[in-house]
Structure 1
């Protein structure tokens, strides 16, 4: 399994964390994972909306010491 791309958006407010995540996902192959680190609580809401719009999914959401760690996965490649 590939190492996930880490997007560190700690200290930034909405919409910056989600915009950075979107930019990172644009360059990833289908089925890839990314980890968003954010201190803005809106990331807990915005990231799932982004992933739904892109056809991906949120794998996990964790919070520790005021930092949200959201692991997301891009849409898998279509199978024929």
Structure 2
């Protein structure tokens, strides 16, 4: 089993974290997971909205040291 890939989007403002997420998810297979790490407050709204619109699942999110970690599963 491989480690879940991570996207470091710290310091990036909307819409860049979601754009990076979209680009990195393209080659993934359905069911694969990826973690987005962001500190833009808008990402709390943007990432779930992106998942809803694109048919992906937001598995979990949590805040740690001022960063928000989103685990997303490709639909």
Cα distance in 2 for residues equivalent to 1:54 and 1:22: 9
Equivalent pairs counted in the alignment come to 75
Structural mapping, 1:1-80, within 5 Å: 1-75=1-75
Gaps of 5+ in 2: none
> Contact 1:2 / 1:32 at 8 angstroms: preserved in 2?
no
Gaps of 5+ in 1: 76-80
Cα distance in 1 for residues equivalent to 2:2 and 2:33: 8
Considering only CA atoms, is the larger Rg found in Structure 1 or Structure 2?
Answer: 1
CA RMSD of aligned residues (A): 1.0
- Structure 1 segments of 4+ aligned residues over 2 angstroms from their partners: none
Q: Return the TM-score normalized by structure 1.
A: 0.88
